[in-house]
Structure 1
Amino acid sequence: MHSTPAPSSHPRIGRLFRFQWEPAQQAHVLLYPEGMVKLNRSAGEILARCDGTRSVAEIVAELEAAFQASSLTADVEAFLRLAEERSWIDWTPA
């Protein structure tokens, strides 16, 4: 994809990664065979919703509601593009 994700696209964690909360790190992490990626809070909140069932628009709406924020679409889309480039996510058919 590597372009702006469509609002109806459904991101999910890439098959080579496992997403989880790591108490020792006090952060969400992505585990993969060669190591671990420690995520900041924003990245963790976005990836926690990348389960293949939610669309990009639904993820944005949930985040805006959870954090009493607005206009998060561009930031979420930018992160999802980065996550896709790093193979952290892939896409399920809408």
Structure 2
Amino acid sequence: MSTLGAESRLRLARGTRLRQDSARDRWVVLAPERMFIPDPTALEVLRLLDGLRSVAQIAEELASRYAAPREVIEADILPLLQELSDKGVVVPA
């Protein structure tokens, strides 16, 4: 397990998908033999993971959307992404 930083570029792991569960009207992360229900914050972050944007760029995007300091957002999303990385849900691009 590697430690993520502001310049890390991530994507969903192979076989992992972000899908809307229309039957339950919520978004889910489907992974082999696992399913996660992201909270609203995690969902916004997961939608921005494309393997091209760095964590800092994602934080900048969210900061402009929500008129919040980029540093605060980055400090909030790094632990989330680290946890998802440790679980194998997201991987380096």
Please classify the TM superposition score into its range, dividing by the shorter chain length.
0.7 to 0.9
Quick one: which amino acid aligns to residue 80 of structure 2? F
Aligned mates of 1:65, 1:25 — CA distance in 2? 30
CA drift at 1:25:
3.2
Aligned-residue identity in percent: 30
Deviations 1:27-81 (A, max 9, x none): 3211123242111101100111111011111000011111122211111101010
Query: Secondary structure in 2 aligned to 1:80?
Result: helix
Structure number having the greater helix percentage: 2
Which residue is equivalent to 1:2? 2
Letter in 1 for 2:18: F
Q: In structure 1, list runs of 5 or more residues that go unmatched.
A: none
User: Which structure 2 residue ranges, 5 or more long, are not aligned?
Assistant: none
Structure 1 residue 31 corresponds to structure 2 residue 35: no
SS at match of 1:51: coil
One-letter amino acid matched to 1:22: D
User: What is the TM-score of this pair, normalised by structure 2?
Assistant: 0.86
Amino acid at match of 1:85: D
2:71 maps to 1:73:
no
1:23 to 1:55, Cα distance in 2 relative to 1, 3 A: same
| TM-score, normalisation: structure 1 | 0.85
Report how many residues are paired. Answer: 91
After TM superposition, list the pairs within 5 Å mapping 1:1-94 onto structure 2: 1-3=1-3, 5-70=4-69, 71-92=72-93
